[in-house]
Amino acid sequence: MKSKRKVALSVMLIAGMLAGCGNKGGDTESEANPPAPKDEKVSLTFWRNSGNDAENSAYDKLVASFNESHPNIKVEMSPIPYADYDTKLRTSIASGNPPDIMAIDGPNMASYAQAGALQPLTAFFKKDGNLEDIPESTIATYTYQNEIYMAPLTESSIAMFYNKKLFEAKGIALPSKNPEEPWTWDQVLDAAKKVNDPDNGVYGIDPAQGFGNAGGTAYFKYPIIWQFGGEIMSPDGTTSKGYLDKPETKKALQFFSDLYNKDKVSSLEYPPDPFPNSQLAITIDGSWSLGHYAEKFPNFKLGVDYDIAPLPKGVQQAVANGSWSLAISSKSKNAEAAWQFVNWVTGAEGSKTYSSITKDIPARYSVAKEFPELNEYPKNIFVVQNQKFGRPRPITPIFPQMSEAVNKMIEEVTISKRNIDAAVSDAINKIDKAYESLPQK
Residues 355 and 247 in one domain: no
Please check whether residue 183 lies inside any domain of the structure. yes
Please check whether residue 14 lies inside any domain of the structure. yes
- What confidence score (pLDDT) does residue 156 get? 85
Residues 16 and 149 in one domain: yes
pLDDT-derived band at 4, boundaries 50, 70, 90: very low
Give percent of the chain above pLDDT 90: 88
Least confident range of 14-28, 30-44, 133-147, 197-211: 14-28
Averaged pLDDT for residues 379-394? 97
Domain count, the chain: 2
The enclosing domain of 304 has a CATH number of 3.40.190.10
- What confidence score (pLDDT) does residue 27 get? 40
Residues 183 and 288 in one domain: yes
Is there a contact between 311 and 159 (Cβ–Cβ < 8 Å)? yes
**pLDDT (tens digit per residue) in 30-52:** 334 445 455 679 999 999 999 99
Residues 275 and 223 in one domain: yes
Residues 92 and 174 in one domain: no
Please check whether residue 65 lies inside any domain of the structure. yes
Residues 122 and 255 in one domain: no
Please check whether residue 441 lies inside any domain of the structure. no
Residues 30 and 80 in one domain: yes
Report how far apart, in Å, the C-alpha atoms of 75 and of each of 163, 327, 338, 341, 353 are: 47, 14, 9, 8, 18
The string of DSSP codes covering 53-95 is HHHHHHHHHHHHHHHHH-TTEEEEEEEE-HHHHHHHHHHHHHT
Residues 65 and 163 in one domain: no
The neighbouring-strand residues paired with 118 are 329
pTM, whole model, 2 decimals?
0.90
pLDDT-derived band at 19, boundaries 50, 70, 90: very low
Is pLDDT above 90 for 178? yes
Is pLDDT above 60 for 6? no
Residues 172 and 290 in one domain: yes
CA nearest to 22, candidates 101, 108, 116, 112: 116
Cis peptide before 378 (omega within 30 of 0): yes
**pLDDT (tens digit per residue) in 91-120:** 999 999 999 999 999 999 999 999 999 999
- What confidence score (pLDDT) does residue 205 get? 98
Residues 102 and 14 in one domain: yes
Please check whether residue 113 lies inside any domain of the structure. yes
Please check whether residue 251 lies inside any domain of the structure. yes
CA nearest to 245, candidates 226, 257, 232: 232
Residues 225 and 371 in one domain: no
Domain that holds residue 229: 158-320+399-436
- What confidence score (pLDDT) does residue 3 get? 38
Please check whether residue 84 lies inside any domain of the structure. yes
Mean pLDDT score across all residues of the chain: 91
Residues 120 and 131 in one domain: yes
DSSP letter assigned to residue 32: S
